[in-house]
Structure 1
């Protein structure tokens, strides 16, 4: 097999967050954090409107997400969102005791990142004691006890590169369940692209279809291996995250962990975390492409060009989606190929890309209008 050339080496992504133990000592904070912490504490009064665990969960996630989004838009350095979470907890615990700050800590306990749960609960307990003259409701403490039932479904967009995972959750003593929707973009490195809580499966599915189109109904998942993209989503901050993604930055991770536990209780195990940048065999795609090219055009393209194109296409993406093509995936791949060294491989790969896209579109059974649109776009 020819040795691939022209592609730039890529660093190995680490999909799993490493839990860290919070520290109580004062920490030097990036410039953006003090103002954001003050904003959260000042706006915490909005939590007084919550009347149920789900409402508190949602309001807290939105309160923190607004500041994460503000920091991202402001070209700030030190975008350590775990540190920000820790600093907000410390600030709320050490501020003048107020009911809304206790509610804030209860809400943060419900969405705490791995390794922070005990820290937040301890801080909330300290604040509760400081508010001993107040009559505090019991229901806010249920927010942190949300559990997945183990019932889970999936949806895909028409291109097959966006995954919707719909999982049922409930609170202690509540016979009704809610649906949490994980939106995962697998166009390239899988990443969270959104999320939200809904009253029913139908409501969650309707929200998905409103965003991504289609008429498909959610399919129950009995094989956890289908959730590979959710398991291995990147936790890196890329800088273009939407507000809805940042509203769910902490909550999605917490909901994922409870889903993992629920599936294990049913004897089901999610696939292990791993890198999509190793053990790539381009022949998985080059052989069927060459066979199609020979049948359609009567010849086979240059082996080296096809191999490099296939390897670039496959690296970093969920293997189950290798043969999917979408506008977002094309944007990623075109950008990567554009960075190849200026030799004979790069222009040849760029010239071959429209044919590659047509093959994938036809192979996936996409409507002809979508295939032609993709081919036309990539040929520009």
Structure 2
């Protein structure tokens, strides 16, 4: 045997072809929900009304409502599971393109105009996945339409809506209900508007009860005050990174996750709120603004427990039971949204109390001790947040 042959390494065996059991891959893909067909047909039938839009913002609003109403209908009928809103919207884009192509041989009928407008409207309200589907559908149809008459030039800018960088904020007296108002415009400053991110962190999730587009900040502020009843706290120019983190990272609408508590207004703006938020996130990153990252639950709870114990000893001259404080702190952190653990209101205290009671059998000593300490905990948070004395009292007796 030659030295070369003796030292040559054996070739590694090629891995065999991986074989999946029959039906295994199909099982990974959720089945197409039954509601898709009827909702798609209704959306396409309603697209004819979009032809009346006179500019980008009007088409954006009409498209958001047309698709959003279908989400309202299905959520109220189907419940909050397995809805797959993004998958449905992609299907709408595909079917709209099919209708445009089907009518492209005789453009004089105008039957293609509604679906064509719908695709462009979806460009303006769709987050990347949906906007990409709409853009692909438009590209499929463009060659067949050619230089069709009756197509306004402003349709070409629908995908270019972007934040202007203008930001304002509002909050109620407790801080658990607030709003971020952000400016947006189409290219060259066309159709300037603002988008209202109305947030509520009373319960365990960040909810966006009444998001929507408005012609200016005054209209958005008026809508928020009407919705919340808050008339005294002033509008502030600018938004803190902490508040931006709450709105942009936590909203159920923004996570494309339905939990069943969404308002009709939130569902009507489901796609648009996601798009506007993601555009705002991109702007914030481009400007180098750092959004604070949340601490791990256990670390956040331990920090709050230590601070509360120190406050309690200073205020009352006595140290509360360590186990009770630790349990309460962990419950509070787990039952409130990330980035909002320091906020407190009477309704939030009620929500946490109800959740603690639901988690434990009545009469368990730990639960009773925890609930007896909750008013002190709430009062500490209220004082820590600098709330007025009457608000501190409201929180303590909630």
Normalising to structure 2: TM-score of the pair?
A: 0.78
Q: CA separation in 1, counterparts of 2:285 and 2:259?
A: 31
Per-residue CA deviation, residues 59-93 of structure 1 (Å, 9 max, x unaligned), is 11111111111111113452111111111111211
User: Displacement of 1:358 after TM fit?
Assistant: 3.0
Structure 1 partner of 2:11? none
Indicate yes or no: 2:357 matched with 1:338: yes
Unaligned runs of 5+ in 2: 1-29, 104-111
Structure 2 partner of 1:300? 319
Structure 2 partner of 1:215? 232
From 28, 31, 46, the counterpart of 2:49: 46
Q: CA separation in 2, counterparts of 1:308 and 1:329?
A: 18
From 243, 246, 266, the counterpart of 1:245: 266
Number of equivalent positions: 350
Q: Is the 8 A contact 2:335 2:352 kept in 1?
A: no
Structure 1 partner of 2:275? 254
Q: CA separation in 1, counterparts of 2:390 and 2:123?
A: 48
C-alpha spacing 1:317/1:79, structure 2 compared with 1 (3 Å): same
Indicate yes or no: 2:94 matched with 1:73: no
Structure 1 partner of 2:218? 202
C-alpha spacing 1:296/1:210, structure 2 compared with 1 (3 Å): same
Indicate yes or no: 2:194 matched with 1:179: yes
From 90, 95, 99, the counterpart of 2:94: 90
Question: Which of structures 1 and 2 has the larger relative contact order (alpha carbons within 8 angstroms, sep 6+)?
Answer: 1
Q: Residue 217 of structure 1: SS of its match in structure 2?
A: coil
Structure 1 partner of 2:330? 311
Q: Is the 8 A contact 1:154 1:164 kept in 2?
A: yes
Residues 269-288 of structure 1 mapped to structure 2, 5 A cutoff:
269-271=289-291, 278-288=297-307
Q: CA separation in 1, counterparts of 2:300 and 2:365?
A: 22
Structure 2 partner of 1:24? none
Normalising to structure 1: TM-score of the pair?
A: 0.82
Structure 2 partner of 1:192? 208
Q: CA separation in 2, counterparts of 1:280 and 1:238?
A: 27
Please tell me whether Structure 1 or Structure 2 has the larger radius of gyration of its CA atoms: 2
Indicate yes or no: 2:139 matched with 1:122: no
Once superposed, what is the RMSD of the aligned Cα atoms?
Answer: 2.7
Q: CA separation in 2, counterparts of 1:183 and 1:197?
A: 11
Q: Is the 8 A contact 1:275 1:316 kept in 2?
A: no
User: Displacement of 1:45 after TM fit?
Assistant: 2.1
Residues 96-111 of structure 1 mapped to structure 2, 5 A cutoff:
96-97=102-103, 98-111=112-125
Q: Is the 8 A contact 2:86 2:130 kept in 1?
A: no
Q: CA separation in 2, counterparts of 1:294 and 1:262?
A: 45
User: Displacement of 1:320 after TM fit?
Assistant: 4.9
Q: Is the 8 A contact 2:158 2:186 kept in 1?
A: yes
Per-residue CA deviation, residues 196-243 of structure 1 (Å, 9 max, x unaligned), is 112222222222222221333333337545411123214121111001
Q: Residue 116 of structure 1: SS of its match in structure 2?
A: helix
Q: CA separation in 2, counterparts of 1:141 and 1:246?
A: 27
Select the structure that is richer in helix: 2
User: Displacement of 1:54 after TM fit?
Assistant: 0.8
Structure 1 partner of 2:159? 144
Q: Residue 321 of structure 1: SS of its match in structure 2?
A: coil
Q: Is the 8 A contact 2:199 2:208 kept in 1?
A: yes
Unaligned runs of 5+ in 1: 1-26
C-alpha spacing 1:247/1:270, structure 2 compared with 1 (3 Å): farther
